[in-house]
Structure 1
Amino acid sequence: MFCALVALGAACLSPTVTAAPNAFTLSSTAFANGGLIPRVHECTSGGGNDPAKKNESPPLAWSGAPAAAKSYAIVMRDLDNNNLIHWVIYDIPAATASLPQNVQHVYQPPVPAGSRQVYYRGSASLYGYQGPCSPSTVNTYEFVVHALNRASLTTLNNTSSTQTAARAIAAASIGTARMTGES
């Protein structure tokens, strides 16, 4: 603090304090970071008839993204299974800061408008979210939201692989936020 004598009193000037920018964060109302992913978000493939498993994507919300973000993408991986990619959704408009539960399993879901999903090729073949499928082990699943430097990933289309999409997203990423869940 700098103080100077001014007329009959002292005037003190405080140094300029610049607030740190908000941290880019990702959260879900379905589970806490590092917590147990509810069964409604687990896959329906792999045998068994558990009615609680519905393969619904969890609701996700993010805040504090870089101001330069022109769109968003989310990549979900199974960290305990060779980083197997379970979900890629991209071209999420910059004005969007959340996804609802159960994003429709189509290439171009109606919500969020303008977004696209990659076709998952595995135990279940479908567009979009493929929930945790670890019947005999507890695995860690990572959700990463990427702030992207472009509004659309025009090199991707409805036949792009999850790996190709993940590389394109990483190349356009200007910031990330992540959370994990166990299942």
Structure 2
Amino acid sequence: MYVALIDELLADEPSELERRVFDDMAVTDAELRESQDAYSECLERAAPGVEVEFSDTSNQKIMSGIEGFISSFPDDDSGTAALERVVDECSHGTTEMISMLYFDMRTNPEGLTPVEAVRACIEAKDLVEWFDLTDDELVGLMGDETRWSSDPGLSECINDPYSVE
């Protein structure tokens, strides 16, 4: 799954950073930090006073100082729209794909698709009543919370299929 995604990214117009990071089809800790630093530098230039803190365990970030940036615009809507543009522009070519793949590769090192991961979880938990579903049926099940929410094991598989032990 990751090879196909990275090949697609590299066939498009990746940034120099993305090209270098994905050249070996992996993302190291140092490369993640480099992408985060590049994002932070872009944010500092484009939105002075706005700071970002990256999670160590997920592809999440916390931004601070946004009120000052937004208030520098005529109204909140235009300030919010400007901040969203800055965030999109700064993440493109830096953290957008690099961070996502870094955490995905650690959560799902086998590169299973969501359907494959749910199926593996169902098998690992020996949830026999769900074994014979086709991929299409499994996708339908995953999208119908009323069908799976009453089964604790299946709920775990659908909510976090990659955490099965």
Give the structure with the higher percent helix: 2
Give the structure with the higher percent strand: 1
- Asked if these proteins are the same fold (TM beyond 0.5), I'd say no
TM range (shorter): under 0.3
